[in-house]
Amino acid sequence: MIGAKYRRITALSSIFRNFLELSRTIAYYHLVMLAEERLNELYRTLRSHGSLTVDQAAADFGVSPDTIRRDFNRLARDPAVRRTHGGIILETHDRDSTLEERRTRASSEKRAIAAAAATLVNDHETIVVDAGSTTALMVDRITARNVTVITYSVEIAALAIRRENLQVYIAGGAVRRSTAAAVGEDTIRMIGSLQASRGFIGANGMSIRDGLMTPNYHEASVKRALLAISRENVLLADSTKCERRSLVRFADLAQIDLMITDDGLPGGFLAEAQEIVREVLLVS
């Protein structure tokens, strides 16, 4: 009788210990998730404002200054983020610009890059085209006949559909308002089911060490899918993108077969890029 009671007490104690351990584990992961959410929100705020202070961030998030200092130290692992006395600043203030902003910034260098890229397209070729202002300029300059264009950009699809020499496949999904680009699993799945002889890729930033970057995680995933289905990948990036850093890295420079850029690219970067990329074409 006593032995049976002891065994029941022992079993209950074991269950209670397991419950406590599970509670601690759940609480730990909850704290981890809160910390990651806070870190992501801090980065979004930093990208929007360009700088943050410890005191202001601590007040905004209702945590201690020491907690924010640790968060700032983590954010400062990004080469574009620099710690200052009492805060952090974003040295390269790159954000997810709108279509109208990109059209406004369409420079002569972008137009020259787009024109050079358009001449690469052959009759009866299937190409995949990334969202972006330079790639949009390129599509509008294609003169080859019976070209099939695969894209996830609503803007580029609208341009291409008006051209009699172009046929369009648009990879659908949830469309981002700022860039008019489709993203998500459906977009990636459709792109992955297709093939292209050549891909024309854009980037918000590029560096020798960190490769190609973009501000949005979801668009980065689509860009990776574009690179995967193309037999030859062509990067269209003007010299202002050099050593500009953005939130998400989506490719190495080694994945690019041809880089088309302008002659404003710094000599040191050009020399290193020529060691990595199969061919670099400079336009003026």
Secondary structure letter of residue 179 according to DSSP = T
Domains along the sequence of the chain with CATH? 2-90 (1.10.10.10), 99-283 (3.40.50.1360)
DSSP letter, residue 217: H
- Span 153-158, average pLDDT: 95
Mean pLDDT (whole number) for 241-261: 91
Give 35: exposed, middle or buried? Use CB within 10 Å, 0-12, 13-18, 19+: middle
Residue 147 confidence (pLDDT): 98
Q: Tell me: the pLDDT tens digits for 215-224?
A: 888 999 999 9
CA distances from 195 to 97, 183, 229 (A): 29, 19, 5
Q: Look at residue 17 in the predicted model and tell me its pLDDT.
A: 61
- pLDDT above 90 covers a percentage of the chain that reads 52
| Two structure tokens written together for 160 | 């291409």
Q: With the C-alpha atoms ordered 219, 179, 119, 160, is the resulting torsion angle positive or negative?
A: positive
**What separation in angstroms does the CA of 90 have from each of 81, 245, 250?**
5, 10, 20
Query: For 20-65, what is each residue's pLDDT tens digit?
Result: 554 454 344 344 446 778 888 888 888 766 778 888 888 888 888 9
Q: Is the pLDDT of residue 123 over 50?
A: yes
